[in-house]
Amino acid sequence: MGVPTPSRGPVIELLGAGKTYKTGTIEFEALRGIDLAIREGEYVAVVGPSGSGKSTVMNVLGCLDTLTRGSYRLAGDDVEQLDEEELADIRNKRIGFVFQQFHLLPSLSAWRNVELPLIYAGVPREERRQRAVAALGRVGLGDRVNNKPGQLSGGQQQRVAVARALVTEPTMILADEPTGNLDSVSTADVLALFDQLHAAGRTIVLITHENEVAQRARRVVHVRDGLITAEELTAA
Ligand code: ADP
Ligand code: MG
């Protein structure tokens, strides 16, 4: 796993970040002014109860949604100034996403799922296969590359999703409740993978409603009702 080049400023910088959802005539303020700076290589958990705005934060950080107030700078770029093509490029190459529901395509084998981001990135076919198989090896699934998701346990499916997040060699991993559907053994496997990724220099933002999971990060940011209520450094 390549160690990304360190940069001086924060890789993620939210300033006064606000998000208001409009449903018909009803407005809901999901983020109410969040200041958050994350440096390259940090392992940060965002923890809070259901409805506190965690997924909204993740969608903003991943350039999947935009703020209604404040600013988001990613690696020094003001995300609001980027066009759709530049945003798609960031989502595809710079960020690896992991979701609670895995989001694997059931008809494709593990390695075919893992190669998908490389297809979008325009990587040639044979290199795609080699890199997908190597990524599955890194998550301990070298002997399952031809299995379809339905032939794998939940924990194995999430490891396929982690391999897919890694295959483009992103500098940052964004994970939204990645252990939310897993038993305790699989949860431990996935968290051990994140420890390895952090040790290899990746920036990790782990979103969870479980404080015990959050404590695996080095820094924990507590959110409630769209605001940061506390921050702590852990013993991890
Ligand atoms: P969490 O991930 O912490 O459970 P979310 O960020 O998903 O919280 O949601 C925060 C709040 O914003 C919730 O009250 C939710 O109902 C509301 N919300 C989220 N997405 C939308 C949306 N697309 N439209 C309207 N309200 C939304
Ligand atoms: Mg959520």
- Over residues 180-225, the pLDDT tens digits come to 999 999 999 999 999 999 999 999 999 999 999 999 999 999 999 9
Q: Which atom of ligand 1 is nearest to the CA of 58?
A: 6
Q: Which atom of ligand 1 is nearest to the CA of 53?
A: 6
Residue 4 has pLDDT above 70, yes or no: no
Q: With bands split at pLDDT 50, 70 and 90, how would you rate the model's confidence at 231?
A: very high
Both structure tokens of 68: 């209604």
Both structure tokens of 136: 């599955």
User: In this predicted model, what pLDDT tens digit does every residue of 60-117 receive, in sequence order?
Assistant: 999 999 999 999 999 999 999 999 999 999 999 999 999 999 999 999 999 999 999 9
Hey, which of 14, 22, 23, 28 would you mutate to test ligand 1's pocket, going by the most ligand atoms within 8 Å of its Cβ?
28
Spatial contact of 236 and 212, defined as CB atoms under 8 Å apart: no
Amino acid 6: pLDDT: 53
Please give the single-letter amino acid code of residue 74.
L
Cα–Cα dist 16/136, whole Å: 39
CA of 30 to the centre of ligand 1 (A): 6
Which residues' Cβ are closer than 6 Å to ligand 1? 21, 23, 28, 30, 48, 50-56
User: In this predicted model, what pLDDT tens digit does every residue of 8-60 receive, in sequence order?
Assistant: 679 999 999 999 999 999 999 999 999 999 999 999 999 999 999 999 999 99
Give the ligand at the shortest distance from the Cα of 19: 1
**Which residue has a Cα nearest atom 22 of ligand 1?**
21
Q: Mind spelling out the 3-state secondary structure of the chain?
A: CCCCCCCCCCCEEEEEEEEEEEECCEEEEEEEEEEEEECCCCEEEEECCCCCCHHHHHHHHCCCCCCCEEEEEECCEEHHHCCHHHHHHHHHHHEEEEECCCCCCCCCCHHHHHHHHHHHCCCCHHHHHHHHHHHHHHCCCCCCCCCCHHHCCHHHHHHHHHHHHHCCCCCEEEEECCCCCCCHHHHHHHHHHHHHHHHCCCEEEEEECCHHHHCCCCEEEEEECCEEEEEEECCC
**Which residue has a Cα nearest atom 25 of ligand 1?**
21
Burial class (CB in 10 A: 0-12, 13-18, 19+), 148: middle
Closest CA to 234 of 50, 57, 42: 42
Q: Which atom of ligand 1 is nearest to the CA of 49?
A: 3
Q: Which residues sit with Cβ closer than 5 angstroms to ligand 2, an ion?
A: 54-55
Cα–Cα dist 73/80, whole Å: 8
Amino acid 2: pLDDT: 53
Q: Which atom of ligand 1 is nearest to the CA of 177?
A: 2
**Which residue has a Cα nearest atom 23 of ligand 1?**
21
Give the ligand at the shortest distance from the Cα of 56: 1
Domains of the chain with CATH codes: 40-63+84-233 (3.40.50.300)
Contacts of 107 (CB under 8 A, 6+ apart): 148
Q: With bands split at pLDDT 50, 70 and 90, how would you rate the model's confidence at 232?
A: very high
Q: Which atom of ligand 1 is nearest to the CA of 19?
A: 12
